[in-house]
Chains A and B, each alone.
Chain A
Amino acid sequence: MGPIDCGSEVTLKARYRSLLPQFHGFLGMRSSIEIRTVEEGLRPCGYSLIGDLSLAEFLMNLEKKNLEYSIVLRAKMNHGFLHGYKPPIPGEENLTGVAFGRRKDEVLALKEAFLAHDHIASGELLGYPNCCTRYFASKATLDYTREYLTFEVQPFLTFSFFKFFGAGFILHFPCSPFCENSIALAKHYSELIPREIVEFFREQTPVRILVDKTGVLYLETPYIQGGATISPGEEQEVRIELV
């Protein structure tokens, strides 16, 4: 399954077309980690936003793995700014938020916590580190994606900007790129990803990121380039080395 994030696009530069299989694996990292970590009992629940065209396949996959699921929300498919969910449009491709897990009661608890905007309870059910959940809950109204731009050297295991394109080792917003709990979790989860995809991820350095004042984030590495919408703010450009 491809990336589930909306409002973003990324491509492999043509001169690296021999890396196409790794690139596809890179785009599917988060989806793959999201399901496998629940399936293998590394955390209670997972949550994915799925477009209508992939929904049937996604739910069938959960059933095949004997996982319980519950639909949390339906929203308009959004290729632009995704600030809050807009009501679904009949007849068009929409998005479905799906909570899933091994136990029905935990899935329903996640749904309830999610709809109540209870970040602490949601974070616990999703297996996120406590420090990061508390950080997120205290800063949920701020755009702290931009805070990460102040770190010009970051561990590749917690690098968060590829999440817009479906790639990454962790599923949560770490409280810092250097958060030890997040690095340990990412190391653990990276073992679920084929070695060549982990290497492909590691080789994306330096990463050039430009965010314009309208909130378009433009990201370029030696191998890929992509764009995503985040929130509007000041214009920023930074070069990040992954270590």
Chain B
Amino acid sequence: MILLAIDYGCQLNCDYCYARGNSLSVQPDLERLRDVLKSCTDEAVFFHGLEPLVASLSLLRSLRDLVKGLGKQIGIQSNGLGLEDPEVFEFVLSLDAIGISWDGFLPGGRLRHKTEEGSKRVLEIIRKLAREKEIGVIMVLNQFTCPQNLKDSLEALLEAGIKSIRLNPVHWPYPMMDNERLIALYEIAFPYTKEATIHPLALSAAKDCSFSGCSPLGTRIFEVMLDGTLVNCRKGEPTLWQGRSKFRVEYLQNLPVEEGGCGGCEFWDLCHGGCPATSDKLYGKSHYCQTWRWLWGQLTAAQK
């Protein structure tokens, strides 16, 4: 999967957004972009941001047609706010995959949709989209996530017919969440996995980018800017893409668990040390190691 960085800003300014402050705004060069996308073997391209729907519809339509013309799938990850415009709504429905980022019924202030009213507006958009097409929703978990709010939010999504949900722990700003707190929230979400696929609470999460064995300077998921320049995932420094490095993976494998690595860990094949952006050290394993070990333990036991 390739992320197409459409960086014309965002209506929101969430303090934990990893793209915020890493803006890669450039003049589009669609000819070069086509050549770069053509040379990539990935079959799916996702409009990504900051918030892609801030861009003009004519540009978005050109990009969609460009990607479809190459025989690739095109999707979008959006905060949903732009979809209140019927023309934008219709455009989004024309895409192959739709993901909406929603924080649920969470207290405002530092959060994505800022107010309860904002959260309800986006939930309404999610309901409307779900009546037309199967969509996915990403919710972030952070230090403000309350158990009751999480339950209410998951129930609202299930009631809207959402079958694919992600519960991603935020990794910015520091400090990251306590593992005990994150485990407690995942425990609350577990019963809902009977009704929907909730990542990472399924073994298929091992295919997620977080567990794909990235190196901070050579990530597995990369972004292409509108002028065709390839850059790494912006969860780290937005360095120019240099390939899919095995450097961190071999480093972690060589370093025993007791010395802070993953050497000898029974869940290595599922986890690969987690996302490097959630590590305190450049080549370290994820800060959420305790949570992932708990999670893989639960999932593999359930499978047996």
Report which of B239, B249, B261 forms a contact with A14, defined as CB distance below 8 A.
Answer: B239
CB distance from A173 to the nearest CB of B (A): 23
Besides A13-B239, A14-B238, A216-B281, 18 other A-B contacts (C-beta < 8 A)? A9-B218, A11-B232, A11-B239, A11-B240, A11-B242, A12-B240, A13-B237, A17-B229, A79-B249, A79-B250, A80-B254, A81-B251, A214-B251, A214-B255, A216-B251, A216-B283, A227-B216, A227-B217
Report which of A8, A12, A218 forms a contact with B239, defined as CB distance below 8 A.
Answer: A12
CB neighbours of A11 from chain B (8 A)? 217-218, 232, 239-242
Please report which residues of chain A, range 71-108, place their CB below 8 angstroms from some CB of chain B when the two chains form the complex. Answer: 78-81
B260 within 8 A of A: yes
CB neighbours of A212 from chain B (8 A)? 281
CB distance from B150 to the nearest CB of A (A): 36
Please report which residues of chain B, range 22-71, place their CB below 8 angstroms from some CB of chain A when the two chains form the complex. Answer: 24
Interface residue tally of chain B, by bracket?
Answer: 20 to 34
CB distance from B32 to the nearest CB of A (A): 12
Interface residue tally of chain A, by bracket?
Answer: 20 to 34
A-B contact pairs, 7 of them (CB 8 A): A11-B239, A11-B241, A13-B238, A14-B24, A14-B237, A17-B240, A227-B217
Binary B-proximity of A217-231 (CB < 8 A = 1, otherwise 0)? 010000001110100
B179 within 8 A of A: no
Binary A-proximity of B273-304 (CB < 8 A = 1, otherwise 0)? 00000000111000000000000000000000
Binary B-proximity of A2-21 (CB < 8 A = 1, otherwise 0)? 00000111111110010010
Contact indicator B239/A79 (Cβ below 8 Å):
no
Chain A, Cβ-Cβ closest to B234: A14
Interface residues of A, Cβ cutoff 8 Å to B: 7-14, 17, 20, 23, 78-81, 212, 214, 216, 218, 225-227, 229
In whole angstroms, how far apart are the Cα atoms of A218 and B247 in the complex? 13
Interface of B is mostly: loop
CB distance from A230 to the nearest CB of B (A): 12
CB neighbours of A214 from chain B (8 A)? 251, 255, 259-261
CB distance from B2 to the nearest CB of A (A): 16
CB neighbours of B218 from chain A (8 A)? 9, 11
CB distance from A228 to the nearest CB of B (A): 9
Please report which residues of chain B, range 211-250, place their CB below 8 angstroms from some CB of chain A when the two chains form the complex. Answer: 215-218, 229, 231-232, 237-242, 245-247, 249-250
Contact indicator A81/B254 (Cβ below 8 Å):
yes
In whole angstroms, how far apart are the Cα atoms of A234 and B128 in the complex? 58
Query: Of residues A12, A20, A225, which shows the largest number of chain B Cβ atoms within 10 Å of its Cβ?
Result: A225
CB distance from A93 to the nearest CB of B (A): 10
B13 within 8 A of A: no
CB neighbours of B73 from chain A (8 A)? none
**Contact flag A80-B253 (CB < 8 Å), given A14-B239, A17-B229:** yes
Chain B, Cβ-Cβ closest to A15: B238
CB distance from A211 to the nearest CB of B (A): 11
Contact indicator B24/A78 (Cβ below 8 Å):
no
Contact indicator A225/B217 (Cβ below 8 Å):
yes
Report which of B216, B231, B250, B259 forms a contact with A80, defined as CB distance below 8 A.
Answer: B250
Report which of A9, A12, A13 forms a contact with B215, defined as CB distance below 8 A.
Answer: A9
Chain B, Cβ-Cβ closest to A19: B240
CB neighbours of A227 from chain B (8 A)? 216-217, 247, 282-283
Report which of B217, B253, B259, B261 forms a contact with A226, defined as CB distance below 8 A.
Answer: B217
In whole angstroms, how far apart are the Cα atoms of A146 and B183 in the complex? 42
In whole angstroms, how far apart are the Cα atoms of A212 and B282 in the complex? 10
Chain A, Cβ-Cβ closest to B259: A214
CB neighbours of B249 from chain A (8 A)? 79
CB neighbours of B260 from chain A (8 A)? 214
Contact indicator B240/A79 (Cβ below 8 Å):
no
CB neighbours of A216 from chain B (8 A)? 251, 281-283
Chain A, Cβ-Cβ closest to B250: A80
In whole angstroms, how far apart are the Cα atoms of A9 and B24 in the complex? 22
In whole angstroms, how far apart are the Cα atoms of A11 and B244 in the complex? 12
Contact indicator B240/A7 (Cβ below 8 Å):
no
CB neighbours of A79 from chain B (8 A)? 245-247, 249-251
Query: Of residues B259, B261, B282, which shows the largest number of chain A Cβ atoms within 10 Å of its Cβ?
Result: B282
In whole angstroms, how far apart are the Cα atoms of A9 and B241 in the complex? 11
In whole angstroms, how far apart are the Cα atoms of A218 and B217 in the complex? 11
Contact indicator A80/B229 (Cβ below 8 Å):
no
In whole angstroms, how far apart are the Cα atoms of A218 and B261 in the complex? 17
Chain A, Cβ-Cβ closest to B255: A214
